[in-house]
Amino acid sequence: MTILISLLTGVSFFFIILYFYPKIEMKFMGKFRYRLEWVEDKFDKLFWGKYLTQNRLYLISFGPTFLFFSFGYLATFSVGLLFAVPFAILFGVFGWFLPWMVLSIIYKLYLSKFNAQLVDSLAMIANSLKSGLSMLQGIQVVVKNMPNPIAQEFNLLLSQHSLGTNLDDAFINMEHRIPSEDLQMVITSITILSETGGDLTETFETIMHTIGERNKVQGKIKSLTYMGMFQAIILSSLPLALGFALYMMNPAQMMLFFTTKLGWALIVLIVILLSSAFYVIKKIVTIDV
């Protein structure tokens, strides 16, 4: 009778897994495809696409996950399997989000550098228009005299236009690539003036003044909020530093945090409280303009 029940249970689990497997596979494959497409899109926007082969794409997307999982497991294997597996999973989760974090930071720095160069580029185009050159010739001046990334972006715009794309559509494509409020204001002005007519030089000078004043205000706000963020980082890292110091003084007592259920519960509580405190402080000191 016991063998029959075990057999029926095994068959039931088999058919349940067989029924839900396509949905599970579709969800996981969708996550993997989204990760690959996201990484490839970020490399294209950073003009690194020529260095990205298929093998490198897979390595960058999933390599850190396996690397950190293996490191977490091997580093804690001697303590015991019960501790090594959760620790390895925790490291693997960090490795899964690591490419997203690194590429997001790099892309934000890319956008920040682009916005910093936009005012000088507008000044070049405005001076070119004053001297009798056309918009395209003014953009060519920017490509020749400005450094990357803005030279790359305007060069791509010129390439699209030379292949038959309308100039307004090329500007709109540039707006889709670069999520910048300053650039959006510039492109909107160019699009409207190309349809209604107007003085682009005067418009560019007005936009330059507006962007410059807004950058001054944002700079003052950032300088005032850096102290709050620094305090949040220090306060959040103090318990970790204290725990490390106590471990160096009395390792046997501190290992109770990792070898008992109460210790694991306290670690989870500490992580939740520290994350909540950091999030609250960040929301307080962050000011959107």
Q: What is the pLDDT of residues 218-249, one digit of tens each?
A: 777 777 777 777 777 787 778 878 888 888 88
Per-residue pLDDT for 266 more than 60?
yes
Highest mean pLDDT among 8-22, 151-165, 194-208: 151-165
What whole-number distance in Å separates Cα of residue 286 and Cα of residue 226?
A: 9
Q: Are 239 and 232 in contact (CB under 8 A)?
A: no
Q: Which two tokens stand for residue 225?
A: 């909020």
Per-residue pLDDT for 13 more than 70?
no
Residue 16, burial from CB neighbour count under 10 angstroms (0-12, 13-18, 19+):
exposed
What whole-number distance in Å separates Cα of residue 94 and Cα of residue 271?
A: 15
Which of helix, strand or coil describes residue 38?
helix
Q: How does the average pLDDT of the chain come out, rounded?
A: 81
Torsion-angle region of 25 (φ positive above 0: left; ψ -120 to 50: alpha; else: beta): alpha
Strands (E), the chain: none
Q: What DSSP string runs through 104-169? A: HHHHHHHHHHHHHHHHHHHHHHHHHHHTT--HHHHHHHHHHHS-TTHHHHHHHHHHHHHTT--HHH
Which CA distances in Å does 197 have to 72, 131, 190, 193? Answer: 63, 19, 10, 5
Q: What is the pLDDT of residues 185-206, one digit of tens each?
A: 888 888 888 777 777 788 888 8
Q: What is the mean pLDDT of residues 239-261?
A: 81
Q: Which two tokens stand for residue 269?
A: 């509580």
User: What pLDDT shows up at residue 182?
Assistant: 84
Task: Report the predicted TM-score, pTM, of the whole model to 2 decimal places.
Answer: 0.72
Per-residue pLDDT for 85 more than 80?
no
Q: Which two tokens stand for residue 173?
A: 């494509």
